[in-house]
A and B are shown apart, each in its own frame.
Chain A
Amino acid sequence: MKKVDELYNKNIITYGALAKICRQNAAQTFAPWADKVLLFLGAALFVAGVIFFFAFNWFLIPKFVKLAVCMALILASAAAAFVKGFDSYSGQAAGTAAAVFVGAFLAVFGQIYQTGANAYDLFLMWTVMTLPLALCMNKTSGWVLFVILVNVTLALSPLNPAIWIFCLVNFAFLLVTLLPFKIVKQQPYFEYLINTYITVLAVIDSVDHWENMRAWLPLVWAAVLFSIYFFRRKNIYFLGLSLGLAGYWAVVKLSNVDAVNGLWGMGMIILIISGLIGFTLVKINAKFKGAKND
């Protein structure tokens, strides 16, 4: 419909024609859409009502009922996943929901029995218990939940691991998905999420460590990204991420040089570097497209 808007904005069709086209289009799509919206809103309000109901009566509910509710939710979602199968979206959603309810069960269990476990123990247990489910499902939604849990567990760990450890762990996940086996292949969004996440982590880590070896982490990661996505998988987004990171690194390094330290100098450096990166990416993109067309 953007094309129709463009036709109207260029005065090729009248507003009346635009309205008639939209009406004709809406007539075909409105009923299924309204059906979904009503179902979603109804479900959302009902679930919110149930949550409020439990929240209000939480202290009056016997502890076994609390645990039974969580167990029932796990069983119901696992049964739904079993019936639908992991190949359907609803089955995957039910499987992921089962993993989430495991966490809720552990939290309620810890609250009732006061096991002395802290947030780290809770997330560690949750991660460990999610692993078999993620392996059974072997679907991206399950692995995304697992990776999130691993990262939260690491963040809560009493050992306070450095950011480069996070980078390494997530890079290991990425490497597994890049292996040439069908069984480890994930949806493209997994790769986008992990790569972008590691890039952000590399930038954060470098901020406080410009004086030591860890300042090189962004550059190393940029080189890794570039080598994977230029030579093997040909993806302009990741190349942009890689060159952008390298550009950021160069700008920060150059900002310590006296000759360019100042508003004009820095402005000029950023202008030149971003221009060069943009020019390089356009050339690479043209090359990729040419290769595709061939």
Chain B
Amino acid sequence: MTDEEILKYVPEAQKSSAMEIMRGGGTDDIPVIIKIILGIGAFVSSCLFFGAVGGVAFTMREGAAYLVLGIISMGAAVTLKKLVLPYLGPMLKFFFEQCVLVAMLFGRACIITAAADWSFRENGFLILTFLMAIIPYKFFDSFIDRFIAVFLFALCVYAKYYMMFDNRGYQYISFDFIILIFFIISGIIFAARKKFLNPAAWALITSALVPASFALFSAGAGWLGGGVSVQMQTPYTDVIFNWQKILLAAYFGLMFLAYKKFTSGVKNNDYLVFAVLIFALMPFNLPILYGLFFLLLGKFFDDLKVEILGYTTLGGGIIYLYYSLQVSLMTKSLLLMASGLFLFGAQQLARRIYAR
């Protein structure tokens, strides 16, 4: 789309500021390699400085000392970022941004250490990490800090979920439900296009790598034994009839209606999407559906990062589906070939329909 076409959607009063953005104003124009060198230098040196301070606090071995140090460090980082950095040039600003980032992360580490010193259990850590993610989120504008804060909270959610089922004596704990919830939240955030919320979405969705690596670990154990581990084997009926898909169909349906609402308006027959989705989602497992959703979302908003996330999740989902199917390798190979031919057929059909 051309700039002129985009400017048609801008109110008259905002046209001048919109044109400045369209011309690419406001970018700092520092080459990436300079950013990397400055970033690493500032980050490592700050780590060393704060390591020295942390060493002093460590000699006290007192929870309250860690807590006070953590709050002071986080407070100082937020204050510097808000009051001093906006007045610096692009290079100095970038340099000191890394320093205050380390101060912030150091503060977070100190508070977590205080909680550990006071022997917090999983509920305590869950509340603490939630508060630490949510309170400074608005005030400290740093992708890395926001990402780490939310990622820590997500880890605590997994830990809490694990403990819940482990205490009841479960042998194999599936995190599918938590991943589904995180997927739903991150999907909404990506679709909302609010830049400052993106770190939270990325943290929630990448935190799924933790349970995924558990699954890979059990798969690895299976490989050593010469096959797919028992916990990984899934009959295809379990893939088709999965109660979590009802939630997913409702979510996809609502997203579709939201898309219609903001573009062409919702019509009565649009509600049929729920019925269509229930059947359309059946053949696929959950990761494939997550991948397809991210792929479409990334394509729609022309967001390459989300599109790559979609490709990665889709690839992982396909591998997981075929790997864990409870059938022989021979049947899997035939199924894969049939799936490939089916997609070729779909491509040819789509070409004809599009040409018409």
A interface residues (Cβ-Cβ under 8 A, vs B): 1, 3-10, 12-13, 15-26, 28-31, 33-35, 37-39, 41-53, 55-57, 236-237, 239-241, 243-244, 247, 262-264, 266-271, 273-275, 277-279, 281-282, 285
> B168 an interface residue at 8 Å Cβ cutoff?
no
Question: Quick check: B329 and A56 within 8 Å, CB to CB?
Answer: yes
Q: Could you give 16 example pairs across A and B, Cβ below 8 Å?
A: A3-B6, A3-B24, A12-B11, A17-B9, A20-B262, A22-B302, A30-B299, A41-B343, A46-B339, A48-B322, A236-B34, A244-B37, A268-B45, A274-B40, A281-B31, A281-B37
> B164 an interface residue at 8 Å Cβ cutoff?
no
* B residues less than 8 Å from A273 (CB atoms): 41
* A residues less than 8 Å from B337 (CB atoms): 45-46, 49-50, 53
The complex places the Cα of A41 from the Cα of B342 at a distance, in Å, of 10
Question: Quick check: B9 and A13 within 8 Å, CB to CB?
Answer: yes
The complex places the Cα of A263 from the Cα of B344 at a distance, in Å, of 61
The complex places the Cα of A158 from the Cα of B342 at a distance, in Å, of 49
> B303 an interface residue at 8 Å Cβ cutoff?
yes
Question: Quick check: B263 and A278 within 8 Å, CB to CB?
Answer: no
Question: Quick check: A9 and B41 within 8 Å, CB to CB?
Answer: no
The complex places the Cα of A66 from the Cα of B10 at a distance, in Å, of 64
Question: Quick check: A25 and B37 within 8 Å, CB to CB?
Answer: no
Interface string of B1-20 (1 = CB under 8 A from A): 10101100111001001100
Q: Write the chain B residue with the least CB distance to A285.
A: B31
List residues of B (271-313) whose CB comes within 8 Å of A's CBs. 295, 299-303
Q: In the assembled complex, how far is the CB of residue A59 from the closest CB belonging to chain B, in whole angstroms? A: 13
Question: Quick check: B95 and A278 within 8 Å, CB to CB?
Answer: yes
Total A-B pairs, Cβ < 8 A: 214
B interface residues (Cβ-Cβ under 8 A, vs A): 1, 3, 5-6, 9-11, 14, 17-18, 21-22, 24, 30-34, 36-38, 40-42, 44-49, 51-52, 55, 91, 95, 192-195, 259, 262-263, 295, 299-303, 314, 318, 322, 328-330, 332-344, 346-347, 350-351, 354
Q: Write the chain A residue with the least CB distance to B344.
A: A42
Evaluate whether A24 and B1 lie within 8 angstroms (CB atoms) in the complex, with A6-B21, A263-B48, A267-B49 already known.
yes
* B residues less than 8 Å from A56 (CB atoms): 328-330, 333
Q: In the assembled complex, how far is the CB of residue B89 from the closest CB belonging to chain A, in whole angstroms? A: 10
Cross-chain contact of A15 among B47, B193, B329, B340 (Cβ < 8 A) = B193
Evaluate whether A274 and B38 lie within 8 angstroms (CB atoms) in the complex, with A1-B303, A16-B262, A42-B340 already known.
yes
The complex places the Cα of A31 from the Cα of B55 at a distance, in Å, of 59
Question: Quick check: A247 and B350 within 8 Å, CB to CB?
Answer: no
Question: Quick check: A275 and B95 within 8 Å, CB to CB?
Answer: yes
Question: Quick check: B31 and A237 within 8 Å, CB to CB?
Answer: yes
Question: Quick check: A274 and B37 within 8 Å, CB to CB?
Answer: yes
Q: Write the chain A residue with the least CB distance to B342.
A: A42
The complex places the Cα of A13 from the Cα of B32 at a distance, in Å, of 30
* B residues less than 8 Å from A240 (CB atoms): 31, 33-34, 36-37
* A residues less than 8 Å from B22 (CB atoms): 3
Question: Quick check: A42 and B34 within 8 Å, CB to CB?
Answer: no
Q: Which of B31, B37, B263, B351 has the largest number of chain A CB atoms within 10 A?
A: B37
Question: Quick check: A274 and B340 within 8 Å, CB to CB?
Answer: no
Evaluate whether A50 and B333 lie within 8 angstroms (CB atoms) in the complex, with A17-B9, A21-B6 already known.
yes
Q: In the assembled complex, how far is the CB of residue A211 from the closest CB belonging to chain B, in whole angstroms? A: 24
Question: Quick check: A19 and B259 within 8 Å, CB to CB?
Answer: yes
Question: Quick check: B333 and A5 within 8 Å, CB to CB?
Answer: no
Q: Write the chain A residue with the least CB distance to B23.
A: A3
The complex places the Cα of A273 from the Cα of B95 at a distance, in Å, of 13
For the complex of A and B, the 6 pairs showing the least CB-CB separation, nearest first, are A274-B41, A46-B340, A240-B33, A49-B336, A49-B337, A42-B343
Q: In the assembled complex, how far is the CB of residue A130 from the closest CB belonging to chain B, in whole angstroms? A: 29
* A residues less than 8 Å from B32 (CB atoms): 237
* A residues less than 8 Å from B52 (CB atoms): 262-264, 267
Question: Quick check: A44 and B351 within 8 Å, CB to CB?
Answer: no
Cross-chain contact of B45 among A34, A41, A43, A274 (Cβ < 8 A) = A274
